[in-house]
Amino acid sequence: MTVTSSEPTGLRERKKARMRRDLIDAAIRLFHERGFEGTTTEEIAAAVDVSQRTFFRYFASKEDVVLEAAEGVDRILFDSLRARPADEAPFRALRNATRDHWEHLEREDLHLQGSAGNLIARSPELIEANMRYCHRRQARLAEVLGERAGVDPTTDHRPSLVASVFFAALSNGHQVWCASGCEDIGRLLTCFLEQLDLIPEAVGDGWGTPAGA
DSSP-derived secondary structure for 57-120:
HH-SSHHHHHHHHHHHHHHHHHHHHHTS-TTS-HHHHHHHHHHHHHHHHHHTT-HHHHTHHHHH
pTM beyond 0.85: the answer is no
CA dist 45 and 27 (Å) reads 9
Question: How much is the average pLDDT of 79-87?
Answer: 95
Per-residue pLDDT at 5: 47
pLDDT digits (tens, 9 = 90+) for 46-67: 999 999 999 999 999 999 999 9
Q: Which amino acid is at 91?
A: F
Question: 32 pLDDT exceeds 90?
Answer: no
In this prediction, residue 166 has a pLDDT band, given cuts at 50, 70 and 90, of very high
Question: 8 pLDDT exceeds 80?
Answer: no
- If one counts every other C-beta atom within 10 angstroms of the C-beta of residue 134, the result is 15
DSSP code, position 207: T
Could you give the C-alpha distances from 206 to 91, 100, 189, 194, in angstroms and in order? 20, 32, 28, 20
CA dist 80 and 101 (Å) reads 6
